[in-house]
Amino acid sequence: MPAAKNSLQKVLDLAGKFVTKQHGEWNHDEWEALLPKVAKMGFEMGDETKRNLGNILEASKHFYHNGPPAAVKKKA
């Protein structure tokens, strides 16, 4: 059985899913809709948490847009 995820793993997973679902682009309303999901995980949603979450999303956006291209599977 896999080990339970800690709070860091959970927030990074949520951020990665958000950035991927949004194709690396989002507006303020979409950002605002993400905040309650993070709060539900038990995080205090003060300015520092919001700022750091924003930094995680911006870094994730960078990797989403600038990562290596997805490998194309060849048919057998």
Question: With 0-12 CB in 10 A as exposed, 13-18 as middle and 19+ as buried, what is 18?
Answer: buried
Q: What is the pLDDT of residue 2?
A: 74
* Six token digits for residue 37: 């999901």
| Residue found by looking up tokens 């003060």 in the block | 46
Q: What is the pLDDT of residue 49?
A: 97
| Residue found by looking up tokens 């507006």 in the block | 27
Q: What is the pLDDT of residue 70?
A: 73
- The model's pTM is 0.83
Q: What is the pLDDT of residue 69?
A: 79
User: Mean pLDDT for each consecutive 10-residue tract of the chain (76 residues)?
Assistant: 87 97 97 97 96 98 89 66
Q: What is the pLDDT of residue 26?
A: 97
Cα separation, 33 vs 19, in Å, equals: 13
* CB contact set of 12 (below 8 Å; sequence gap of 6+): 56
Q: What is the pLDDT of residue 76?
A: 64
